[in-house]
Structure 1
Amino acid sequence: MHLLQLFTALVLGTSLGCAAASEEFRPEANTCPQVITCGNPGLNGLPGRDGRDGAKGEKGDQGVGVRGQQGFPGKAGPPGPVGERGEAGVQGQKGEKGETPATDIFQQQIYALESRFQELHDECNNYKQAVLLQGMTVGQKTFISTHQHDTFANGRARCAKAGAALACPMNADENAAVQELAKRGAKFAFLNVNDLQTEGLFVYENGKALGYTNWKKGEPNNYGGNEDCVVIIPENAQWNDFNCEQRGLIICEF
């Protein structure tokens, strides 16, 4: 009984104290300070329902953005169908012939020159063949008779003027070819060999020693003391020293 009365008195005192405090300290909101109760935390409750969507706001100002770089082109699409062939148009009238361009004139002149060159080339070949019929070819050399009789010095100059040299056989075959041309002229022919620099030492025009000779027996003998040149004898193709100032058949080699 005493305990029940004591508990009732405590509750009543607390209520009166709270009422008195509320009268003395009246905040804007009529609330009572919460009483923090110590103890184990309780379990979380179930989540509440989603709230309602708010009112739609006004559209904001459009900003000025920076334009990005252009991307790579995409793959080509499949080709489209071939279109229908158009109708043939009406052929126009043939225009007047224009002036011949300068390039065409030059081209015509070139054709004319080429034609003339070919004619000259053919004529040259004909002359060449005619000359070769009168000459003898051995290996890389061609021997041509001038049918002229002159001194050694004049004969060598005559051949040089024609772009050739005085005949100078360097083997038996070349010697036989020169002999054949000498026989046709029925006279001995000068060879491009001499001992003008050193008596008794016969050399080629360039001063080199002879690599081939076909001396007649007992030759060279420098008969009379002035036989410094060499001739080929038509009858036997042998060589003989000879006076350079005498006249002999001039045969050139090319």
Structure 2
Amino acid sequence: MRLQMDISKRLHSRGRTFDLRSCFSTGDRHVVLFGPSGSGKSLTLQALAGLLTPDEGSIMVDGATFFDSSRKVDMPARKRQVGYVFQDYALFPHLTVRRNVAFGLKGLGRSLSSQQRDDVEEMLSLLGLAEIAGNLPSEISGGQRQRTALARALVTRPRLLLLDEPFSALDEPLRMAMRREVLRILEYFDMPLVLVTHDPADVALFGSTVVMSRDGEVQETVTLAQLEARGSSLQAALSAWFERSAATSPLRAELVNPPAPDA
């Protein structure tokens, strides 16, 4: 995957201003956006998905222009072929697991074709959801809800998968298991990934390129190997950077949260 991003966005909320300046470039298939809360990671992901329109700049993925303010290009989110898994999974509480997954294909007011129905059943089987396909989100575990959100994103066969803090809501044993499960899924589909996290363990497993941000701005873009060479361990190097950044950054919630789709 070739990803080039150079955007800026000024956001206003409740008398506050947040300036996002996200600039990085990579040819790696797995990219991790890393940094403390309020550093603009999720906003960067939303801009890549087409859920947030930058004020200026450009976004290109594998030669396709997603956004270019100078040329007045802003590709609609539905045409970017991007799978997005929200931090809270954004499952429809009144739809079964099967219907949540199917929504990724049919959207609003459309029926599935025979092939699409087969695709849904295949995805449910691949992600170990077939036996609970008739259950509601409230009736399944946190790990099963995460797999349902992944299935909904993957059933469309996107060119790129975006994960926003995918493991933060899980307890530690389940977090470890789900990291391995997501890695298996990525390998199976040969899927490029952009992942938002502030957990060094996610960086260690998923990072090829690590984009390190603070106060809405990318501070540096490094490879995993470069990070590992900085100290006694990757954990130590990331923890030291995180602590320095958190100590000098105001703890600010990110100002834009994309709404869950309305079924």
Query: TM-score, length-normalised on structure 2?
Result: 0.22
Q: Which has the higher helix share?
A: 2
Query: TM-score, length-normalised on structure 1?
Result: 0.23
Q: Which has the higher strand share?
A: 2
Specify the structure having the higher radius of gyration (Cα): 1
Higher relative contact order (CA 8 A, sep 6+): 2
